[in-house]
Amino acid sequence: MNAQRPRMVIFDRDGVLNVDHGYAYDPAKLEWVPGAMAAVKRVNDAGAIAVIATNQSGIGRGYYTEADMEAFHAEMLRQLAVIGARIDAIYFAPHHEDAGEDRYRVADHPDRKPNPGMLLRALADFGVAPQDAFMIGDKPSDMEAARRAGVRGVVYAGGDVEALVIPELAALTGRTVP
C-alpha cells in the first residue's frame, strides 16, 4: 500500500464488533460478533488504520460512566492484542438530548451519529482523505454519518464481519487481501 495515502476503516462498535445486548459497558459481558476480531486483524495486516466511532448515550443517560466504558474498551483492546490486532483510536459520543448531566445534554451534538463529527475527527487526526476510508455500521445513523463525512458506508447486516471486510479492504487498498 502507498505510504503517502493512509487508509482507514471505521467500525461502529455495538452490533458490529461486539454483540449489542443494550448499553454494553461491563467488560465481563464482552461478546464479540463472529469474525470481528479477525476483521480488525485483517485491517491491521493490510496496513490500514482501524478506529471505532461509537455513540454512547448510556453515559449521558446515567446508565454507566465514562470509566465503565473505558474499562470495556480496555478489555476489547486486551483481547485484540492476544491475536496481534489493535484499534488505533476510539471516538465516542456520550451526548443525548435527555442526558442527566448538563455536559452531555445536547440535542444534536456534531459527534453523535448520524452527524459526522467523530468520523471527520478520525480522518483529520490520521491525515486520511475521505475517499481512502470506509465505515462499517449496522444502523441507518452509521450510514448517514459516513455519507456526511464523505466516506463509503458499508452495512453489516449479520454474519461474519471478516467476510464483509475482505472485499471492502481489497477495494480500498487496490490489492488482494490474503
Residues belonging to the active site: 12, 14
What is the residue type of 169? Answer: L
Contact between 149 and 128 under an 8 Å Cβ cutoff? The reply is no
DSSP-assigned letters across all residues of 95-118: --TT-SSGGG--TT-TTSTTS-HH
Contacts 24+ apart (CB under 8 A), 153-157: 156/12, 156/15, 156/16
d(CA 93, CA 60): 9
Q: What angle do CA 20, 164, 115 make, to 5 degrees?
A: 55
Q: Is 49 exposed, middle or buried (0-12, 13-18, 19+ CB in 10 A)?
A: buried
Q: How far is CA 62 from the centre of its chain?
A: 22
Nearest by Cα to 40 from 50, 53, 30: 50
